[in-house]
């Protein structure tokens, strides 16, 4: 590990001051589960490290006026243990539940997972299906943008060098909505995602799908909304038949996203099972919360 100077600010203001002062020369460490590897193998060697893990004010999950707000330094474990998310935002809960190992979930932060923009990130897929917004702060001020606008490719985001992602928020799903996330990997635990599929579905009183937000992760360079599938679902009855009817469309969509990739043969078939599992969970949630089918 090459040399660097280390700062561990206790407040957001201090951190933003440091980010402004060492703009472009400082790297941020939160959970550290990605950056420490890069520091250790010397592929990344900033002059300054700003450790934001001690900023307690950025670690929270709260629901205020119908908006779910998550502090960037909340860990996967924090979210997995949050009763509101477990009961009402199953997609995000599942995305956290299946990340890495207990050790990684205790360290890794939501902000880190979003900012890293890894092709294999779990929570960004769930967040995009929830149409989430990120809050970016710098010494100069604050700006917000939809997560869909935040990504530019693997490791690329709109985050400026003096900015910190401080919060991610989205509208709390209503009683007429259900969400789900399915992770396909090579093992049951400690596994990198091969396909991640997150869905938010809303139905009206006649059991007709009135809104669908479907996002696939680990296929393209960053999680993608699937407008063709969403369009197919809206206006149709929320039934197993409807969902079964779009399995081939999923397959075709994945094929068109990565026609030349070696994994396309596997992914275009397996996505059908991933879709079925996700929609089974949605259907089961709707029946559990007592909305008439």
Partner 1 sequence: MSDRDFSVLGQSVIRKDALSKVLGEAKFAADYKFEGMLYGGVFRSTVPHALIKHFDASKALALPGVACVLTAKDIPGKNRTGIIIKDEPCLVDDKVRRVGDAIAIVAADTPEQVNEALDLMEVEYELLEPIFTVERALEEDSPKIHGATNVHAKKHLECGDVDAAFAKCDVIVEHTYNTSMLTHMFIEPDAGIARYEDKIMTVYCSTQNPHYDRADVAGVLGLPNNQVRIVQVTTGGGFGGKLDISVQCHIALLSHFTGKPVKMVRSRKESTNVSAKRHPMTMKAKTGATKDGKIQAVEVYMTGDTGAYASYGPAVITRAVVHCMGPYEVPNVRVDAVFTYTNNPMAGAFRGFGVPQVAYCHEGQMNAIAKELNMDPIELRLLNAHKIGTTIATGQVLEESVGFKETLIQAAAKAKEVM
Partner 2 sequence: MEKIKIAFNLNDQDVSIETMPNKRLLDMLREDFNCTSVKEGCGEGECGACTVLRNGEPVTSCTMLAGQVQGERLLTLEGLSKNGELDILQKTFMEAGAVQCGFCTPGMILSAKALLMKNPHPSRDEIRRALSGNLCRCTGYTKIFKAVEMAIEE
Question: Does 19 help bind partner 2 (rule: CB under 8 A)?
Answer: no
Name the CA radius of gyration of the chain, rounded.
Answer: 20
Give CA–CA dist 232/240, Å, rounded.
14
Question: Does 116 help bind partner 2 (rule: CB under 8 A)?
Answer: no
Give CA–CA dist 134/139, Å, rounded.
17
- Pick 41 or 241: Cβ nearer partner 1: 41
| Distant-in-sequence, close-in-space partners of 65: CB < 8 Å, separation ≥ 6 | none
What part of residues 85-124 is at the interface with partner 1 (CB under 8 A)?
A: none
Question: Does 186 help bind partner 2 (rule: CB under 8 A)?
Answer: no
> x/- binding map, residues 80-109, to partner 2, per CB under 8 A?
--------------------xxxxx-xx--
Phi and psi torsions of 74, nearest 5°: -65, 140
Phi and psi torsions of 248, nearest 5°: -70, -30
Q: CB neighbours (10 Å) of residue 246?
A: 23
Interacting partner of 42 out of partner 2, partner 1, none (Cβ under 5 to 8 A depending on kind): partner 1
Question: Does 29 help bind partner 2 (rule: CB under 8 A)?
Answer: yes
Question: Does 11 help bind partner 2 (rule: CB under 8 A)?
Answer: no
Q: Is 290 helix (H, G, I), strand (E, B) or coil?
A: coil
The dihedral region occupied by 290, where left means phi > 0, alpha psi between -120 and 50, and beta the remainder, is left
Question: Does 42 help bind partner 1 (rule: CB under 8 A)?
Answer: yes
Q: How far is the CB of 14 from partner 2 (least distance, A)?
A: 14
**Interface with partner 1 (CB under 8 A):** 1-2, 41-42
**Interface with partner 2 (CB under 8 A):** 1-6, 8, 29, 31-33, 36-37, 39-40, 49, 51, 53-54, 77, 100-104, 106-107, 189-190
């Amino acid at each position: 590990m090459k040399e660097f100077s280390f700062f561990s600010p206790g407040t957001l203001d201090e951190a933003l001051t440091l980010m402004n002062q060492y703009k472009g020369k400082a790297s941020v460490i939160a959970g550290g589960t990605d950056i420490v590897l890069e520091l250790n193998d010397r592929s990344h060697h900033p002059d300054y490290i700003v450790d934001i893990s001690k900023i307690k004010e950025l670690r929270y999950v709260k629901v205020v006026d119908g908006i779910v707000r998550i502090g960037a330094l909340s860990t996967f474990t924090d979210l997995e243990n949050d009763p509101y998310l477990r009961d009402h935002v199953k997609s995000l809960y599942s995305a956290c539940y299946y990340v890495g190992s207990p050790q990684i979930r205790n360290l890794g932060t939501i902000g880190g997972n979003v900012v890293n923009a890894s092709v294999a990130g779990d929570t960004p897929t769930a967040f995009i299906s929830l149409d989430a917004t990120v809050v970016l702060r710098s010494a100069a001020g604050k700006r917000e943008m939809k997560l869909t606008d935040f990504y530019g490719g693997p490791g690329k985001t709109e985050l400026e060098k003096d900015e910190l992602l401080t919060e991610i928020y989205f509208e709390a799903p209503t009683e007429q909505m259900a969400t789900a996330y399915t992770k396909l990997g090579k093992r049951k635990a400690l596994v990198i995602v091969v396909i991640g599929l997150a869905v938010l579905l809303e139905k009206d009183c006649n059991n007709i799908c009135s809104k669908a937000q479907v996002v696939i992760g680990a296929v393209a360079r960053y999680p993608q909304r699937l407008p063709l599938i969403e369009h197919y679902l809206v206006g149709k009855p929320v039934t197993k038949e409807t969902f079964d009817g779009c399995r081939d469309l999923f397959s075709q969509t994945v094929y068109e996203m990565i026609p030349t990739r070696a994994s396309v043969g596997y992914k275009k078939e397996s996505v059908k099972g991933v879709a079925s599992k996700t929609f089974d969970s949605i259907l089961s949630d709707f029946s559990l919360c007592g909305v008439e089918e």
